[in-house]
Structure 1
């Protein structure tokens, strides 16, 4: 499999970014939705810091993914895809990129404006603040973080639903292009001396 994207497939680098970020965002969503239910023990603060650290990781990976996309390009639409569907798919991809950047940025801004002490990225180093304490800004950043999450969930559902529609009903390669390529089955070797 090629590292770089080809006209027909996403390359190994793009696939790796895609699925790693999907897993991280899924983990962030689960933690974010259940965090408030945890008792305020030291474990809660460890989970909260891990959530923030994972968010910064998504931000860094999305910047790398965007740079790679600009460098490596993207596959052409699957042959037979109507122009309007290709336009919606392209718009959805760019909206997902924007949301996956805006979500962690809004969380980082919320953390910064909340006036909390700097958090340590997975215990390794302090993450700098984007701004000083500002209660109004913290409230707005928190609201934005929650709203962006809901929009992200809706777009991910649309994106996944479209991929499954193409795979199950149109039976084209839209979904398969983001999956590792399967090796073609080799045909049984025929004995040159055997005559059928």
Structure 2
């Protein structure tokens, strides 16, 4: 993989696309802290999570994006423009629908068996919602993300998995380094 990783990375995609796994992998590999947007929206509590107000959520997001190093991951789109603007790299994870379906099923099984931790209770209702969110992403969300990311040329890579991201980063980094040399 490349030796010069971007300082600020935003990862976006559907439920089950691999956002958290990719964020954790890059965080461990490059010692960059990662943040889940769900934890920006929700204040985690033992009894029950509490949704932050839009103002508190936005303030928390700004406190993260104003740091020098970060990886932010999540499916959220409408309120995360500060992250897109500050990101050095925006990764749109876009695996196949069958891959997403497989991941939703295996995640649910692992969570029900307590082999994988969740920020929510893995109920049958939540399982059903994940498929609904995934279907909505295929119908509308994917296109909304693509349209939004058109505003950030040169920052965006669209990949299906970590292997493809590594290949794209190897191609992407020399072009960024070349731009930096010519702008000096």
**When the two structures are superposed, what TM-score results if normalisation uses the length of structure 2?**
0.33
| Higher share of residues assigned strand | 2
Q: Using CA pairs under 8 Å that are at least 6 residues apart, name the structure with larger relative contact order, 1 or 2.
A: 2
